């Protein structure tokens, strides 16, 4: 029998946020519990898609089960265009923000081309570089200065900016964003702005890069329904382009989107009611998350695991007492059942990421266990 030989590219891909599930297996097989603080899925906790949005999708499921145009259905594109005040033809619906990231990077980068990524970084970006054989060049973030970006001048085709940030919870100020635009403009880079957590900000407000960029650089903004509308399983995202007028670049985008066929049609029919309807669910979520953030942030610092105060999203990124963070996280799960993701999974050794979506009592229990483990 001939066995399939995997590609080296595939073997090199890693997505540690899910891979750490393996750490929990031993405990689960022994019938013990696991507190999962590894995956940022609000729908697994007490965050529900608003009813008016569910109803729009439910109605569409009765009759809108066809392939949509690859750029998205008109109604959804128009809703995004109205929300962001951009022309409809510069809006493309995607299969989650993940397809937007994939499309933006593939449209820009050939094998060997460089892309400037944040460090620590949401691992999909590094996984895609591995798949595409593109070169990841990293810009660091200063843990001593609330995870502010540190930006040397480099040569790359694109720069990725994630604010609010996964995994650090940092939200960049307008000034920082302006500096990033200047660096991008000097290096003739296209900015890929991943703003998937822009509704979930606990202090101050979020500034969108689209508001900062004038005509200095091309900008591809990404957002969707996974975090702000608690519907990650719907797989709905969108890309909004600014200063990307070249017809050849738009053709590259269209080619890629056509090859993926389309984003899920019935769920696209819920985008209008999501963007034009009430935002009460976000206000309620931010209030709950702020309290949960405070529990985790205070308790981690209280036990000596230094952690900056997350300003947005639902992640705390804390220092741990060893550089071997993968063994630490594995041991923590084996002995206590608390499952987190090691910092090196995001390219930053000596840290771990803690999801603070569960209720406060669960978070306190998890923190108690981590504290006992450290002792």
Binding site residues, ligand PLP, CB under 6 A: 40, 96-98, 122, 162, 166, 194, 196, 224, 226, 232, 237
Supply the minimum distance, in Å, between the C-beta of residue 131 and ligand PLP: 16
Of 42 and 337, nearer to ligand PLP (C-beta) is 42
Supply the minimum distance, in Å, between the C-beta of residue 334 and ligand PLP: 25
Supply the minimum distance, in Å, between the C-beta of residue 71 and ligand PLP: 17
Of 299 and 348, nearer to ligand PLP (C-beta) is 348
Strands 114-119 and 315-319: unpaired
By beta carbon distance, the residue nearest ligand PLP is 96
Of 187 and 237, nearer to ligand PLP (C-beta) is 237
Strands 338-339 and 135-142: unpaired
Supply the minimum distance, in Å, between the C-beta of residue 349 and ligand PLP: 20
Of 103 and 308, nearer to ligand PLP (C-beta) is 103
Radius of gyration of the chain (CA): 21
Strands 236-242 and 91-95: antiparallel
Supply the minimum distance, in Å, between the C-beta of residue 234 and ligand PLP: 9
Supply the minimum distance, in Å, between the C-beta of residue 4 and ligand PLP: 28
Residue from 185, 311, 192, 182 nearest 242 by CA: 192
Of 232 and 337, nearer to ligand PLP (C-beta) is 232
Q: Which residues pair with 220 in a beta bridge?
A: 192, 241
Of 130 and 336, nearer to ligand PLP (C-beta) is 130
Of 231 and 336, nearer to ligand PLP (C-beta) is 231
Of 237 and 336, nearer to ligand PLP (C-beta) is 237
Of 194 and 326, nearer to ligand PLP (C-beta) is 194
Supply the minimum distance, in Å, between the C-beta of residue 125 and ligand PLP: 8
Supply the minimum distance, in Å, between the C-beta of residue 16 and ligand PLP: 12
Supply the minimum distance, in Å, between the C-beta of residue 122 and ligand PLP: 4
Of 38 and 166, nearer to ligand PLP (C-beta) is 166
CB 139 within 8 A of CB 121: no
Supply the minimum distance, in Å, between the C-beta of residue 100 and ligand PLP: 8
Distance CA 222, CA 239 (A): 5
Three-state secondary structure string covering the chain = CCCCCCCHHHHHCCCHHHHCHHHHHHHHHCCCCCEECCCCCHHHCCCCCCHHHHHHHHHHHHHCCCCCCCCCCHHHHHHHHHHHCCCHHHEEEEEHHHHHHHHHHHHHCCCCCEEEEEECCCHHHHHHHHHHCCEEEEEEEEHHHCCEECCCCCCCCEEEEECCCCCCCCCCCHHHHHHHHHHHHHCCCEEEEECCCCCCECCCCCCCHHHHCCCCCCEEEEEECCCCCCCHHHCEEEEEEECCCCHHHHHHHHHHHHHCCCCCHHHHCCHHHHHHCCCHHHHHHHHHHHHHHHHHHHHHHHCCCCECCCCECCEEEEECCCCCHHHHHHHHHHHHCEECEEHHHHCCCCEEEEECCCCHHHHHHHHHHHHHHHC
């Amino acid at each position: 029998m001939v066995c399939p030989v995997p590609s080296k590219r595939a073997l090199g891909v890693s997505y540690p946020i899910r891979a750490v599930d393996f750490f929990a297996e031993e405990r689960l097989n022994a019938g013990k519990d696991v507190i999962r603080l590894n995956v940022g899925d609000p729908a697994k906790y007490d965050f529900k898609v608003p009813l008016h949005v569910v109803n729009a999708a439910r109605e569409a499921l009765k009759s809108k089960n066809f392939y949509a145009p690859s750029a998205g259905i008109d109604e959804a594109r128009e809703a995004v265009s109205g929300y962001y005040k951009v022309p409809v033809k510069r809006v493309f619906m995607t299969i989650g923000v993940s397809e937007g990231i994939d499309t933006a990077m593939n449209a820009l980068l050939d094998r060997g081309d460089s892309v400037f990524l944040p460090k620590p970084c949401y691992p999909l970006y590094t996984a895609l570089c591995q798949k595409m054989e593109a070169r990841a060049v990293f810009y660091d973030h200063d843990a001593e200065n609330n995870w502010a970006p540190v930006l040397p001048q480099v040569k790359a085709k694109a720069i990725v900016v994630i604010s609010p940030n996964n995994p650090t919870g940092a939200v960049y100020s307008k000034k920082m964003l302006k500096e990033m635009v200047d660096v991008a403009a000097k290096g003739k880079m296209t900015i890929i702005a991943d703003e998937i957590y822009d509704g979930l900000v606990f202090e101050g407000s979020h500034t969108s890069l689209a508001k900062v960029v004038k005509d200095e650089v091309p900008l591809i903004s990404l957002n969707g329904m996974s975090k702000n509308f608690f519907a990650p399983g719907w797989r709905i995202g969108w890309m909004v382009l600014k200063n990307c007028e070249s017809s050849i670049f738009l053709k590259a985008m269209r080619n890629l989107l056509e090859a993926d066929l389309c984003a899920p049609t019935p769920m696209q029919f819920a985008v209008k009611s999501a963007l034009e309807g009430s935002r009460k669910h976000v206000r309620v979520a931010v209030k709950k998350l702020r309290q949960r953030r405070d529990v985790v942030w205070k308790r981690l610092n209280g036990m000596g695991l230094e952690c900056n105060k997350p300003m947005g999203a639902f992640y705390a990124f804390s220092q741990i007492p060893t550089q071997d963070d993968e063994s630490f996280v594995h041991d923590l799960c084996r002995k206590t059942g608390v499952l987190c993701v090691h910092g090196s999974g995001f390219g930053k050794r000596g840290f771990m990421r803690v999801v603070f979506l569960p209720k406060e009592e669960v978070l306190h229990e998890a923190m108690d266990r981590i504290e006992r483990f450290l002792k």
